[in-house]
Amino acid sequence: MVQVKKAAEDVLKHYSNETGADVHIYRLPGVFGKWCKPHYNSVVATFCYEISHDKEIEIHDANKNLELVYIDDVVDHFVDSLKQKKTKKTCYYHINQTFNTTVGNLADKLYEIKNMRKSLIIPDLSDRLTKYLYTTYLSYLDKDNFSYDLPAHQDERGKLIELIKSHQAGQIFMSTSREGIIRGNHYHHTKVEKFCVIKGTANIQLRKVDSDELITYTVSDQNIKMVDIPPGFTHSIENVTDDDIIVLFWANELF
């Protein structure tokens, strides 16, 4: 296969020398991205398919180095090359946006992505390789496997459901509260929270721990607002309607 590829390069270089045509030759590392065929020539595609379908993957050398490049970066580079005049006296070009990892680290990242549905902890998507692997992994899910259940904690007050957790960005969760129910009445030294009532009407009351002054915000789904909960303030939320309320929360720390 290597000899065939080299022969093709030589044909292109000869054509460029004879005609002056602008020829760009790329020797690409492991290209990965959505819809790549598994069990062919991409370990990322094979691992994504196997892991997303609850199958065992085979790793012969976890420490083997991998150089990877994302398909969108490849296409963007090709398009930019078409738009630019040739400035180098060479036919060989390379793509700078590549990633170096190992087979073992690749598998670990993909299992972390798969397990997010149970842990609810989304990986650090500010890391470009992780972000690209995450979106690639999702493309291998079967069409009946796009949704997943969320654990609900329920008592006489209503439900609390955790949605998304992140070591970098905290977590998002929601609760329902029955008529007249008051939740909270505690404070945090450092944790920061935001409350948003998305169904019904509620009174959010805050009090600085060294003060008797009560601060009340009446919020409802008729005028959606976000309420900041500063540290050092006791806070509670009371359902003042005759139906369940639904409240969306964000906290900068995980439970």
Mean of the per-residue pLDDT values of the chain = 94
Average pLDDT over residues 239-253: 97
| Residue 85 tokens, joined | 């005049």
Same domain, 105 and 186: no
Tell me, yes or no, whether 164 lies in a domain: yes
Question: What pLDDT, in 10s, does the model give residues 56-89?
Answer: 999 999 999 999 999 999 999 999 888 877 666 7
Q: Are 22 and 91 in contact (CB under 8 A)?
A: no
> Which CATH number do you get for residue 98?
3.40.50.720
pTM across the whole model: 0.87
Q: How far is CA 192 from the centre of its chain?
A: 22
- Using pLDDT thresholds of 50, 70 and 90, give the confidence band for residue 214: very high
Q: What is the pLDDT of residue 32?
A: 98
Same domain, 14 and 134: yes
Tell me, yes or no, whether 18 lies in a domain: yes
Q: Name the domain count of the chain.
A: 2
- Using pLDDT thresholds of 50, 70 and 90, give the confidence band for residue 1: low
Same domain, 134 and 208: no
Same domain, 156 and 128: no
User: In the listed set 94, 116, 138, which residue is the last one of a domain according to the structure?
Assistant: 138
Which residues, 6 or more positions from 234, have their beta carbon under 8 angstroms from its beta carbon?
A: 184, 185, 186, 187, 206, 207, 209
Question: What pLDDT, in 10s, does the model give residues 27-38?
Answer: 999 999 999 999
> Which CATH number do you get for residue 209?
2.60.120.10
User: How far apart, in Å, do the first and last CA atoms of the chain sit?
Assistant: 54
Q: Where are the alpha helices (DSSP H) in the chain?
A: 2-19, 43-52, 71-83, 103-119, 128-138
pLDDT at 90 over 80: no
pLDDT at 251 over 90: yes
- Smallest CA-to-CA distance from 121 within 58, 190, 171, 76 is with 171
Tell me, yes or no, whether 146 lies in a domain: no
Domain residue limits at 156? 152-251
Specify the residue for token string 């006296």.
89
Tell me, yes or no, whether 143 lies in a domain: no
Same domain, 125 and 219: no
